[in-house]
């Protein structure tokens, strides 16, 4: 299958991961954020006001149901290590000690305080802290407009890759806007991304064309946003 985008580090495929993954071989790490099956964005509020006010992120049904358990098991089977965000939403995850916690410092609102990832990493429960809502957002979110209603921070995915240790090949079969690929590329790792909505493949490809993210340079982030 011809990639939608490819560079030295990242390959993006547009299509259904159930059809594409069996053709790819094995990976060191599965790092992904599948639909949780909670109707995210159906009300037009998921992702925060900065995303919800933009008409091109109209309500969709992509998060109406979570992926079937057998599909998740097939994805986990192709990687030595796995990190599955939203793991608490999926029935049948094997017992594991390496749960990961993202503390979003949400404050007083109706959004979740944290998100959880199931992993088979050989580690104790670990916590990553980064504000992702409101005026005091941290890291990448300080100046860069979010481009997907359930987008994760690059810093979070970079942290996950670091916890996984010496992994060189990474798979994200629910790529969204390409955050996993961006983190992998910044760290010099190879990643394969799969996304079934072409508009997000385009956004992800654009993000891969950027230089290494510099969170301390306001002009650089504004330039990226206008690209």
For residue 17, give the CATH number of its domain: 3.40.50.150
Tens digits of residue pLDDT in 162-175: 999 999 999 999 99
Tokens of 60: 């969709």
* Residues whose CB falls within 8 Å of the CB of residue 115, separated by 6 or more in sequence, listed in order: 85, 86, 101, 102, 104
- What pLDDT sits at residue 149? 80
Least confident of 5-19, 134-148, 160-174: 134-148
Please state, in angstroms and rounded to a whole number, the distance separating the CA atoms of residues 208 and 210: 5
214 or 84: whose pLDDT is higher?
84
Bridge partners (DSSP) listed for residue 126: 100
Residue 40 pLDDT exceeds 80:
no
H-only helix segments in the chain: 17-20, 49-52, 69-76, 154-164, 179-186, 198-208, 218-226
Total domains present in the chain: 1
Give the pLDDT mean for 52-58: 43
198 or 149: whose pLDDT is higher?
198
- Report the predicted TM-score, pTM, of the whole model to 2 decimal places: 0.82
Show the domain range for 43.
5-226
């Amino acid at each position: 299958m011809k990639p939608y985008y490819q560079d030295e580090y990242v390959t993006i495929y547009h299509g259904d991961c159930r059809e594409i993954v069996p053709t790819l071989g094995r990976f060191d790490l599965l790092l992904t954020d599948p639909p949780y099956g909670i109707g995210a964005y159906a009300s037009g509020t998921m992702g925060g006001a900065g995303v919800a006010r933009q008409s091109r992120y109209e309500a969709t049904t992509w998060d109406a149901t979570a992926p079937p358990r057998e599909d998740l098991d097939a994805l986990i089977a192709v990687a030595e290590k796995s990190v599955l965000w939203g793991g608490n939403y999926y029935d049948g995850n094997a017992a594991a000690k390496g749960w990961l916690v993202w503390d979003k410092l949400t404050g007083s609102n109706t959004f979740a305080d944290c998100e959880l990832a199931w992993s088979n990493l050989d580690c104790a429960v670990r916590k990553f802290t980064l504000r992702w809502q409101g005026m005091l957002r941290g890291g990448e979110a300080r100046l860069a407009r979010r481009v997907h209603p359930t987008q994760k921070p690059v810093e979070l995915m970079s942290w996950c890759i670091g916890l996984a240790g010496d992994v060189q090949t990474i798979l994200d079969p629910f790529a969204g806007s390409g955050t996993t690929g961006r983190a992998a590329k910044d760290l010099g790792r190879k990643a394969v991304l799969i996304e079934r909505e072409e508009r997000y493949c385009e956004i992800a490809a654009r993000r891969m064309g950027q230089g290494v993210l510099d969170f301390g340079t306001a002009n650089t982030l504004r330039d990226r946003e206008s690209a």
